[in-house]
Chain A
Amino acid sequence: MLRPFDYFHPNDMAETLTLLDQEDETSVLAGGTDLLVKMRRGSIRPPVVVDIKGLEECQGIRWEGDRLSLGSLTTFNDLLRSQEAHKHFPLLIDAARVMGCYEVRERATLGGNVVNASPGAESGSPLAVLEAQVVLKGRRGERQMSIGHFWQGVGKTDLAPGELLVRIVIPRLPEGSRSTYLRRSRVQGMDLASVNVAVVVINPRLPESREIRVALGAVAPTPIRAREVETLLRGQEITSSLLSQMRDKIQEGLAPRTTSLRATPGYKKEMVGVLTEMALEVLLKG
């Protein structure tokens, strides 16, 4: 049951940051698809909720030079409607398509998904593999950092009190790059990923200069890059023996938590290799 709380709906960034700075234990409300669930469940009981819906600086999808900037209020349906995302980052589209259901996608924001810092978040492994940066704003200024450093653990980020995630920026991939996102879930509709992978292939047609990037979700406290697998695959002809090496290597050091209701650690560890191979099959075809 919801506890009473103070609700603010500031008009601009300055007012928002002032509120966030003044009040202790403030929760930011964007789409609310995580926040309200947690508040109802009683796992958080914020005395103050600051609704940032409508904040202009947190909206819009646009190029800033060689980087695509996505406002933190970009919803998953905004992503699905974005020509830029379709054209340059199809893995984000793959991920957005399976996120929640239509109604949730209409509400849920990319910023919320990032700040919620769930290890299996739909946008997690794609943003990790794209080497996205987050732009954080506070009363004392703005800072940027790689998303890999921003996530610090399950539900934990580097967001300081009084700070707001305003944008996520993604560097443009070299021309001709391909990408995809694959996941396992218990059911197709309205389910969280049991495990997921995001794969980017740069120079797919030129094996010698080919770079393959892989990120994994729901196997560690945060989405993680599979760096050793990337090294193994770089510039190599993809043969079945290499793939079987990849499947072994990708599991090394992984210790998914045993308490997941969605899949056992053994299944998750096996599936990241299976999904990565499936992704490569799709991305390297033709």
Chain B
Amino acid sequence: MKRPKYRSVGQNQRKVDGEALVTGQARYVDDIELRGMLYGKILRSPHAHARILEIDADEARGLPGVHAVLTHHNVPRIQYTTAGQGAPEPSPKDTFVLDEKVRYVGDSVAAVAAETAQIAEEALKKIKVRWEVLPAVLDMEQAMTPDAPRIHEMPSANEISNPEKNIAAQVEVTDGDPERGFAEADLVVENHYRAGRVHASHTEPHICITCLDEAGRLVVRTSTQVPFHVRRIIAPLVNLPIGKIRVIKPRIGGGFGAKQEVLLEPICALLTLKTGRPVRIRLTREEEFISSRTRHAQILRSKVGAKSDGTITATELEVLADTGAYGSHALTVQCNTGSKSLPLYRTHQYRKGVNNVHFKATAVYTNLPVAGAIRGYGAPQGFFALDSTLDEMAHKLKMDPIDFRLKNLVRKGDSPALLEKLGEGREGVKQILKSCGVRECIKRGMAEIEWQQKRARKNGGVVRRGVGMAVLQQGSGIPGIDMGAVTIKLNEDGSFNLMTGATDLGTGSDTILAQIAAEVLGTAADKCHVFSSDTDLTPYDTGAYASSTTYITGMAAKKAAEEIRRKVLARAVRMLSEKRGDLTLENGRVKGRKKSISLGEVCADALYEHDQEQIMATASHISYDCPPPFAAHFADVAVDTETGQVRVLKYVAAVDCGTAINPQLAEGQTLGGIHMGLGYALSEEYQFDDRGRLMNPRFLDYKILSASDMPEIKVILVPTFEPTGPFGAKSVSEIPTNGPAPAIGNAIFHALGVRLREVPFTPERVLKALRNA
């Protein structure tokens, strides 16, 4: 295919905010100090499940320096979900700002605003609570049993799937005739997999500062991925119309999904409304671990049927997920476990037109910390179970695992039927694959890892070597739901302002949007001043989640830039007395056959000289396509059979993200996602005691991998052209997180002949598996 030549797109443009970040000039929420600002602190529940019989805050209120204490008695009793999703949110509305009941150790009991953080902490200690401690359920498999305590008991528990059985959400989708598919299989492989609960480990904790402006409007500065959802979701909770709320997202220090959550804003705003003063609440690291959001722990039953020639006849995933005390993202994360993994493989090849897929997921409440959105959004669990099962199937069929996958992977032009039935908590949208580089990813990754040589390696001794792989996909935005908008205006020096509601939380999306706009406008990306995001000043965007910003908002930036381009060219025709068809935009100038003028001159003409106007444009974009990026991950591991230690010596990730708008940033996203995935596979895990208390809410005892733990990683970008994306781009940010657990698990199997079915693959689990083999 002949590729169009780009000047800005495809370049390793330096991050537009890079210099400010490395010189410490970037302003985070915590860098903002407002006159008269109070410090907010939240009293946390010591019990996993308890009712507040009596709460006495008089002494706390009387403490000098304390300005307000909120308990369930003096906050509005409105049910909502903290999940920062589009309206109506597909998560159960099971949360109150403060409730008369607590449902996990770390749940909110009361909040204080005081002149210093010390006074606020002192005040928390003076709040007296009389508890009725209730039996707790800490195990997701017990949550649905008849004698399990009921966690959400209010009759008004709306949109909870089945509160009597502690079921927050459930979904079941069947396509074709899976029973027949399994019956017609020569071999069926079925097993259970367990994926633990992990933390997003973003550097900057959740932090929020609220205040009232001179017009009495509520201003919320918050470290969020979803400023517009924050504004909409808090409006009823603080009893203000949306127009009286302004949400500002300053620089963000990472979120990975955990900030797709309306966590601190309601209580912080209520403290401001109560006191009239600015209030700041920042979570401590311990609170961040316990009281923000985690990845859903899941138990998955994965089943695959195949003919002896390796043709898959049916696939099935049944998921039990632990959503913790509240059901934030309970339905949609679980939907994604199926809708990202299963459609990667055809099940209709052995009998034309019959896709045999069954997917069922149940998310249950427990008295443990709350799960939510985290990079990958259910897909890492799904791929761990499904891809491990495929690897096992290949082994049993005596096929090379790659040959087996290649035989069954989707192809361009396919329309996986499951995606039509299984969407974002509701029916999906029909998808037709318009770009698919998965085979090229496998081919190039195989060569880089030296697959053939390493699969044939002789093995023995204490330390065994193995190589494994996994094939992955994700989506690009949520089809038919995610919308992004961009405003661009032209300045007299030829530079542009680009205003967007999209939130660069360290992903580099500000830079990507600048590169896209600059490409259209024939100028340099650094001529594009990106401002994100402020609900008063920037147009709407769903926010940074579902791998959407490059694909959705990027297209909005392209459309807005094209509109500017039309307006610029229209003026240039008159100014240069040339024909429209002879004009090009290049290096910040409009060039005709004879003469040229700068973009600045065009702007000056528009502002001061002729038929005056501000050259600006706003464009929105929504897509009914959700093109999956594809990837093939490979891990070369060494397993010590005496200590159980798994070391990853080399890791290869070949990824088809369509056109990489900025290859270096795409590579960076891939490396970061692999880092998260490696921790998920090897070392990260919440450890609770028998009373539901988190034992390791600190990086001393919750081990993410450090620089010295990282293997050699090779990222290979495999270019394809996605016709529905800006300049052919698809997403890249979440997909890498899905790879390490299955790829390493499969490599361990190759090394030891033993399959590990629970992540993380700790040394003790490896030894246990070896001994049980």
- Name A's B-contacting residues (CB within 8 A): 1, 101, 184, 186-192, 261-264, 267, 270-271, 274
Contact = CB atoms under 8 A, between A and B. Distances in A.
A189 B706 contact: yes
Contacts of A188: 706, 708-709
A53 to B, nearest CB: 24
A187 B643 contact: no
23 contacts: A1-B117, A101-B706, A186-B683, A186-B762, A187-B683, A187-B703, A187-B705, A187-B709, A188-B706, A188-B709, A189-B705, A189-B709, A191-B703, A192-B700, A261-B687, A261-B696, A261-B701, A262-B701, A264-B764, A267-B763, A267-B764, A267-B767, A271-B643
Nearest to A186: B703
B707 interface: yes
B695 A189 contact: no
A11 to B, nearest CB: 32
Interface string B738-773: 000000000000000000000000111001000000
A92 B763 CA distance: 26
Nearest to B121: A1
B712 to A, nearest CB: 14
Given A1-B117, A184-B763, A261-B695, A274 B642 contact: yes
Given A187-B683, A191-B703, A263 B642 contact: no
Contacts of B118: 1
Contacts of B763: 184, 267
Given A184-B643, A261-B696, A189 B121 contact: no
Contacts of A264: 764
Nearest to A275: B643
B132 to A, nearest CB: 29
Instruction: Tell me the dominant secondary structure on chain A's binding face.
Output: loop
B664 to A, nearest CB: 25
Interface in B132-187: none
**In the complex, which of the residues B682, B687, B699, B763 has the most CB atoms of chain A within 10 Å of its own CB atom?**
B763
Contacts of A186: 683, 703, 762
Closest 9 CB pairs of A and B: A189-B706, A189-B708, A186-B703, A188-B709, A187-B703, A188-B708, A274-B642, A261-B701, A187-B709
Contacts of B703: 186-187, 191
Contacts of B687: 261
A189 B707 contact: yes
Given A184-B643, A187-B705, A267-B764, 15 more contacts: A1-B117, A1-B121, A101-B706, A184-B645, A187-B683, A187-B704, A187-B706, A187-B709, A189-B707, A189-B709, A261-B696, A261-B701, A263-B764, A270-B767, A274-B642
A271 B682 CA distance: 19
Contacts, number: 43
Interface of B: 117-118, 121, 642-643, 645, 682-683, 687, 695-696, 699-701, 703-709, 762-764, 767
B461 to A, nearest CB: 13
Contacts of A1: 117-118, 121
**In the complex, which of the residues A184, A186, A270, A274 has the most CB atoms of chain B within 10 Å of its own CB atom?**
A186
Nearest to A278: B642
Nearest to B116: A1
A275 B121 CA distance: 46
A271 B762 CA distance: 14
Contacts of A101: 706
A262 B763 CA distance: 11
Nearest to B117: A1
B677 to A, nearest CB: 15
Contacts of A263: 764
A1 B700 CA distance: 18
A188 B703 CA distance: 10
Nearest to A4: B118
Nearest to A98: B708
Contacts of A274: 642-643
A267 B117 CA distance: 43
Contacts of A271: 643
A193 B714 CA distance: 30
A173 B76 CA distance: 74
A267 B644 CA distance: 10
A263 to B, nearest CB: 7
A270 B469 CA distance: 32
Contacts of B643: 184, 271, 274
A274 B700 CA distance: 25
B701 A190 contact: no
A101 B705 CA distance: 13
Contacts of B709: 187-189
Contacts of A191: 703
Nearest to B286: A41
Contacts of A189: 705-709
B657 to A, nearest CB: 29
A102 B707 CA distance: 12
B294 to A, nearest CB: 17
Contacts of B704: 187
Nearest to A267: B764
A10 B699 CA distance: 34
A244 to B, nearest CB: 12
Nearest to A2: B118
Nearest to B707: A189
A267 B767 CA distance: 9
Contacts of A267: 763-764, 767
Contacts of A270: 767
Contacts of B705: 187, 189
A267 B764 CA distance: 7
**In the complex, which of the residues A191, A262, A263, A274 has the most CB atoms of chain B within 10 Å of its own CB atom?**
A191
Contacts of B699: 190
Nearest to A37: B700
